[in-house]
Amino acid sequence: MATCLLPGMTDLSISSLMQTEEGRRVMSCLQCGVCVGACPYGDVMDYPPRRIIAMLRAGMVEKVFLSDSLLACVACYTCMYKCPRDIRLTDTILPLAKEQVLVHQPDLPAELQRALQNTLRYGNPMGESSRKRAAWVKTCPVPVRIFAEDPRPADVLWFVECYTSYYPRGQDCSRATARLFHALGIDFAILGNEEKCAGECGRLTWEPGLYETLMDYNMAVFGKYQFRRVVTSCPHAHNAFLNRYRSLGFRWELHHVAPFLALHLDSLKRLLTRKLNYRVTYHDSCCLGRQNEFFDQPRALLDAIPGIRRVEMTHNRGNSICCGGGGGGMWLDTYYKSKGYERLSERRVKEALATGADVLAISCPYEVSRFEDALKVLGADKRMIVRDVTELLVESLGD
Amino acid sequence: MSGNILVFAEHFRGALTEATFEALATGRELAGKLGRSLEAALLGSGCRDLAQQLGVAAKVHYVEHPALGDVTPDLYAEALSQLVRICTPRAVLVPLSNLTMGVGTLLAARLRAPGVNFCTAMDIQDGEIRVKAVLYGGKLEATVVPRGEPLVAGLWPGSRNPEEGKSTTPPSLIEDFRPQLPEKPQIRLKRYIEPEAGDVDIREQPVLVAVGRGIQSEENIALAEELAAALGGAVCGSRPVIDQGWLPLSRQVGKSGATVKPKMYLAVGISGAPEHLEGMRNAPLIVAVNTDPQAPIFRVAHYGIVGDALDVLPALTEAVRKRRQETHA
Amino acid sequence: MNVLVILKMVPDVVEELEVAENGAALDVEAARMMLSESDDHALEEALLLKERLGGKVTVVALDAPDVDEALYTALAKGADRVVKIEGLDQPLTTSLAAAAVCEVLRTQPDLLPADLILTGAQAIDDLDGLMAPLVAHHLRLPYLGVITGVAADEAAKFATVVKEYSGGVRGEFEVPLPAVLGVQSAERPPRYVPVAKIRAVMKTGRIETAAAPVMADGGLALTEVLALNKPEEAGGAEILSGAPEEAAGKLCGVLAERGVL
């Protein structure tokens, strides 16, 4: 049963949810359909959020669990953001429904299944050796302290996460982040090979047991070292720590890298001396944006870079269109293709291209590969490049 | 103890397999180093004519019995063990394949003799046989010495050039041997199930020509098809190509597609993203063709050509066809 | 139908494999163990047979690091009984492992007779032999390997099995039961079981234990591993230079050498 945001509720199921205030809110749904209209895949779901609630009310929710409709939910928070009743769709009722799908239909698409199995076994969905998680540190131009090698207390525990540790483009972002931390004189250390995926709800609400296993593990590792705050490169991990790890005792001050750097904007501005002549459009990721409303901080960072001209996409800030990586979507591309769905990353990239920008700036590790892929498929990879905000900041660093 | 080397000649549906010739090549070299002769064991029913192609062996034991009509491991191991007790070789070489799976193990068990699997090379040192075997999917290599005789060695296919085991002259001697076996095998082959007509299973192909975005358009895939045909394999693709609809989903290799391990994987116009490498990096021979010398694919490939797919593919097809003609001439 | 499945743990090759100090064995401390892939398929095939024909699935495994996880997972997937054989020094050769398992099967009550014994067709560490034919040899049962499908009748007298050859050709065989089959792949990929279910089974399920026999042979080793090493590293691609025709010619030379042409 999903550990969830409702305080004090550890063993939650749909039926026990109904006994709570949140459950009453769910049942007060207006059936207005704003969720379906806002959902990027609303038109292909057999059971979009509105209908799931209707089925619940009609005592027919089993049918939802037997359909594959929930595979199309990318956990982008748009429905929850727009719901006039403030029903906690994305982080409560939908994950509970997804759990039940897994119970009723043990046959998940193979790629997603592999990602879940890999995460359990190796602490990352790619199935890479856990002993290679910190290998990128050797390629970093500035020193990165690893707690296991040097357990002295640190100000910041930098939770790097999976894509930023193992994927070549993710490692570019990690190296950039390390350089920025150094330039700002931040005292930080990483968990290195001891780090495992935070297990965030977006992709892992299919698997609350896996999530719990990872939470237990990570909390135990945190307990080994002393640090004042946690800064993470992954908005999904940020969410996990902010919302779910609290129930296991996570009390540290928490930041995602982008808002964290924005706190140091004045010091940072002085270091950004190289002029970059880019026209940049910024993509608000679901977890940083809609979920936590960190809309201004990444924009402030970009605006601090001399020479950058920022343009907005049609759908921006709270209306941003998800890259399609959440909710398991990262491992369901082949499945979506087989169903004939348009890839959300392609939809978003078309919007980015329409702004005339030459750089698509992002702040979530999923987005780099998804958008670069989409640009290639659309044949536009010469017109626009994808850069993490940290990569752009480093490019502007004086030294 | 004759001390000769005995090779199990594997054949399927009327033809000796390439693995048999690889084993003969290995066996001949080993016999030579020992100063002994090479013998072959041809088991079956009504297939004596195949013995003609085993000329690399000085002597062929033709083991005929109706119960040996199809390969069933129990009876094949029994027949071989009876033969081995008579001709007392120093080592028995068995090609490892789906067809022979279990035969070597059962033979060694029956003879209470040493067995070694996954052999890639055999040598003599200080009068002892030394075997190199791959373990853990190729990650480590073991050097093994048998402590007993005969050694039953399971040979890993693809470790030797089969041409070295072929001969145009027939063997000097073919001796018939009738083993004591039950009339009929307990395990009975009822029928063969042919592969479905229609699309190809890329995991079964010995050679794969893989195309990526560097192929540039759907029309150009025909160039890859021609090369694949010349090499006796099939075309597959990385995800962008499948996404474009230029190849069906069944041809996708990589994280979202199939994991393949053909004898040769030719990656054309594929950059080598981790998602793709996941599906093919363990192929024993990987060749990459790319215009970018820094493309990550060159790190996992064994050989590379820096060039345009559209130029290299036709050149390769031409070269392969020429080479085939020369060999058959 | 009573199906017995034999599982074995093998080194996980995702991790770097290191050679021990003596240069002739795997550094087991550094290795991480996982269930042999084709054994997982054998378990899946057994569970499919149980779903179709009823009966029981009993799993037997030799003690090894992380074997408990594999056994609890088997229970969570639907196995009825799991038995761990303890007391043997790891790592074992496949011959010794097979002999030990068969001795336990013979002496432990209620494990045999089984209608069918399934295990993986081959494992990555089967240096001195394969488990399935060795078990068949010790128990004097018929054996067939590289199986991708099993159908049996209710009376459990015969099984119709599909064996894979090469090039997509398969063969349909009739096998008298009881028999031992080496499973290459199950009729569907091994099922996913949610971690929550495994965690629940760890609290309620039970792994039976059986003592390993004193090995009659005294572990007489018929082969000796002199050395274990990493194969020669190819440091990146060897670039074949020249105009397309020239490079193509060079490549053909390589292909001929490697037996591809």
> For residue A90, what are the domain limits?
14-104
Segment C218-240 shows an average pLDDT of 79
How many whole angstroms from its chain centre is CA B263?
A: 8
> Is the Cβ pair A209, C193 closer than 8 Å?
no
| Pair (A115, A256) in one structural domain | yes
- Please indicate, yes or no, whether residues A125 and A191 belong to a single structural domain of this protein: yes
CB-based contact C14 A127, cutoff 8 Å: yes
Q: Does B187 map to a domain?
A: no
| B300, C238 Cβ separation under 8 angstroms | no
Residue B196: per-residue pLDDT: 65
- Report whether B153 contacts B94 (CB < 8 A): yes
Taking only the tens place, the pLDDT of each residue in B138-166 is: 788 999 999 999 999 999 876 788 889 99
Structure confidence at residue C232 as a pLDDT band (50, 70, 90): low
Residue A3 has pLDDT above 50, yes or no: no
To the nearest whole angstrom, how far is the Cα of C250 from the nearest Cα of chain B? 9
pLDDT digits (tens, 9 = 90+) for A170-189: 999 999 999 999 999 999 99
Give partners of B (≥3 CB pairs < 8 A). Answer: A, C
Write out residues 270-289 of B within 8 Å (CB-CB) of A.
274, 278
Residue B265 in domain: yes
Residue A10 has pLDDT above 60, yes or no: no
Pick from C123, C157, C129: nearest CA to C142: C157
Interchain contact B237–A (C-beta under 8 A)? no
Domain-embedded: residue B182: no
Average the pLDDT over each of B231-240, C33-42, C219-228, C251-260 and give the range with the smallest value: C219-228
In a shared domain, residues B154 and B26 = yes
Residues of chain C contacting residue B97, judged by C-beta atoms under 8 Å apart = 166
Nearest-Å Rg of the Cα atoms of chain C is: 21
Interchain pair B141, C13: CB under 8 A: no
Cβ contacts (< 8 Å) between B186 and chain C: which residues?
142, 175-176
Of the three residues A81, A104, A127, the one that is the final residue of a domain is: A104
C145–B contact, CB cutoff 8 A? yes
C30 reaches B (C-beta below 8 A):
no
Lowest mean pLDDT among B40-44, B295-299, C215-219: C215-219
Q: What number is the average pLDDT over the span C58-78? A: 96
Task: Please say if the pLDDT value at position C217 is more than 60.
Answer: no
| Highest mean predicted confidence (pLDDT) among A295-304, A321-330, B276-285 | A295-304
Q: Which residues of A touch B240 (CB under 8 A)?
A: 373, 376-377
Q: Name the nearest CA neighbour of C41 among C226, C190, C164.
A: C190
What mean pLDDT comes out for the span C50-76?
96
Residue B196 lies in a domain: no
Contact A333 B213 (CB under 8 A): no
Q: Do the domain assignments include residue A342?
A: yes
For helices B73-87 and B103-111, angle between their N-to-C axes, nearest 10 degrees: 50
Average pLDDT of every residue of chain B: 91
**Looking at the complex, does the CB of residue C163 fall below 8 Å from at least one CB of chain B?**
yes
The domain tally of chain A equals 3
CATH 3.30.1360.30 fits C2-211, yes or no: no
What pLDDT sits at residue C239? Answer: 93
CB contact under 8 A, B306 and C239: yes
How would residue A155 be classed by pLDDT, with cut points 50, 70 and 90? very high
Residues of chain B contacting A329 with CB distance shorter than 8 Å: none
Q: What is the mean pLDDT of residues B107-121?
A: 95
In a domain, B195, yes or no: no
Domain containing A168 — which CATH number? Answer: 3.40.50
- CA distances to A246, B7, B8, B152, C213 from B61, rounded to whole Å, are 76, 10, 10, 17, 41
Using a CB-CB cut-off of 8 Å, the residues of chain B touching C122 are: 101, 117
Q: Under an 8 A CB cutoff, do A333 and B240 touch?
A: no
pLDDT at B261: 87
Same structural domain, A151 and A199: yes
Preferred mutation among C32, C33, C93, C130 to probe B, highest tally of B CBs within 10 A: C130
> Is the peptide bond preceding residue A168 cis, with omega within 30 degrees of 0?
no
Q: Which residue of C has its CA nearest to A105?
A: C192
Chain C interface test: which of B78, B103, B123, B136 (most C C-beta within 10 Å) = B136
**pLDDT per residue as tens digits for the range A269-284:** 999 999 999 999 999 9
Residue ending a domain, among A225, A244, A262, is A262
Summarised one tens digit per residue, pLDDT across range B194-248 is 876 567 889 889 999 999 988 888 888 999 999 999 999 999 999 888 877 788 8
| Domain contains B264 | yes
Judge whether C87 and C203 are in contact, CB under 8 Å: no
Contacts with B198 (C-beta within 8 Å, 6 or more apart), sequence order: none
Q: Is B324 helix (H, G, I), strand (E, B) or coil?
A: helix
Residue B100 belongs to domain with CATH number: 3.40.50.620
Is B240–A126 a contact, with Cβ atoms under 8 angstroms apart?
Answer: no
Contact indicator for C171, C165 with CB cutoff of 8 Å: yes
Q: What pLDDT is stored for residue A399 in this prediction?
A: 63
Pairing between β-strand B115-125 and β-strand B128-135 as defined by DSSP bridges: antiparallel
DSSP of C78-125, one letter per residue?
T-SEEEEEE--PSSPPHHHHHHHHHHHHHHSTTT---SEEEEES--TT
Interchain proximity B255–A337, CB inside 8 Å: no
For residues C47-51, give the mean pLDDT.
Answer: 96
Residues of chain C with pLDDT > 70: what percent?
A: 96
Contact A267, A307 (CB under 8 A): no
**Residue A321 covered by a domain:** yes
Residue type, C247: A
Verify that A248 and A368 share a domain, yes or no: no
Q: Is C216 on the interface with A (CB under 8 A)?
A: no
Among candidates A111, A127, A167 on the partner chain, residue whose Cβ is nearest the Cβ of B256: A111
User: Which residues in chain B are closer than 8 Å to C248, comparing Cβ atoms?
Assistant: 305, 312, 315-316, 318-319
Question: Do residues A97 and A127 both lie within one domain?
Answer: no
CA angle at residue A376 from A372 to A377, to 5 degrees?
A: 115
pLDDT tens-digit readout, B63-95: 999 999 999 999 999 999 999 999 999 999 999
A134 located within any domain: yes
pLDDT in tens, B34-71: 999 999 999 999 999 999 999 999 999 999 999 999 99
How much is the pLDDT for C54?
94
Structural contact between residues B210 and B270, judged by C-beta atoms closer than 8 angstroms: yes
Are A294 and A310 members of one domain?
yes
Q: Does C191 touch chain A (CB under 8 A)?
A: yes
Show which of residues 103-142 on chain A sit within 8 Å of chain C, judged by CB atoms. 103, 106-108, 110, 113, 116-117, 120-122, 127-131
**Closest approach of C49 to chain A, Cα-based (Å):** 17
A chain contacts of residue B278, beta-carbon cutoff 8 Å: 127
Which pLDDT belongs to residue A328? 82
Domain boundary among A62, A89, A104: A104
Q: How far, in Å, are B124, B136, B186 from residue C118 at the CA level?
A: 38, 22, 18
Indicate if the alpha-carbon torsion angle C215, C218, C222, C223 is positive or negative: positive
The reply to whether A308 falls in a domain is yes
Question: Are B215 and B82 part of one and the same domain?
Answer: no
Task: Count the domains in chain B.
Answer: 2
> Do the chains contact at B243 and A337, CB–CB below 8 Å?
yes
Residues A100 and A144 in one domain: no
Which of C168, C248, C256 is the closest to B201 by Cβ? C168
Measured between beta carbons, which residues in chain B are less than 8 angstroms from residue A127?
278
User: Do both A333 and A306 map to the same domain?
Assistant: yes
Task: Quote the CA–CA distance of C249 and C243 in Å, as a whole number.
Answer: 10
Write the DSSP string, B134-169.
EEGGGTEEEEEEESSSSEEEEEPTTSS-GGGG--SS
The nearest alpha carbon in chain C to A114 belongs to C192
A280 touches chain C (CB under 8 A): no
Asked if A76 contacts A286 with a C-beta cutoff of 8 angstroms, the reply is: yes
> What does the angle CA A79 – CA A82 – CA A85 come to, to the nearest 5 degrees?
100
Chain C residues with CB inside 8 Å of B134's CB?
231
- Taking CA–CA distances from C35, the nearest residue in chain A reads A121
What domain range is B97 assigned to?
A: 5-177
Answer for the pair B312, C248: CB distance below 8 angstroms, yes or no: yes
Per-residue model confidence (pLDDT) at position B329? 63
Flag whether A332 is in a domain: yes
**Residues within 8 A of B (CB atoms), C 74-103 only:** 95
Average pLDDT over residues B130-144: 89
* Percent of chain A whose pLDDT exceeds 90: 70
Looking at the fold, whether A117 and A255 belong to one and the same domain comes out as yes
Q: Write the CATH number for B210.
A: 3.40.50.1220
Is the pLDDT at A2 greater than 60? The verdict is no
Q: Which of C127, C173, C231 sits opposite B138 (nearest CB)?
A: C231
Q: How confident is the model at residue C218 (pLDDT cuts 50, 70, 90)?
A: very low
| B256: nearest CB among A126, A166, A333 | A333
The reply to whether residue C192 touches residue A108, judged by beta carbons under 8 angstroms, is yes
Which residue from A174, A156, A143 is spatially nearest to A231, judged by alpha carbons? A156
Q: How far apart are CA C144 and CA C127, in angstroms?
A: 19
Look-up of token digits 């069918």: C116
Q: Does the beta-carbon distance from B144 to C127 stay under 8 Å? A: yes
Q: C154 at the A interface (CB within 8 A)? A: no
Count, residues in chain B: 329
In a domain? residue A157:
yes
Is ipTM over 0.85? yes
**Does the beta-carbon distance from B162 to C248 stay under 8 Å?**
no
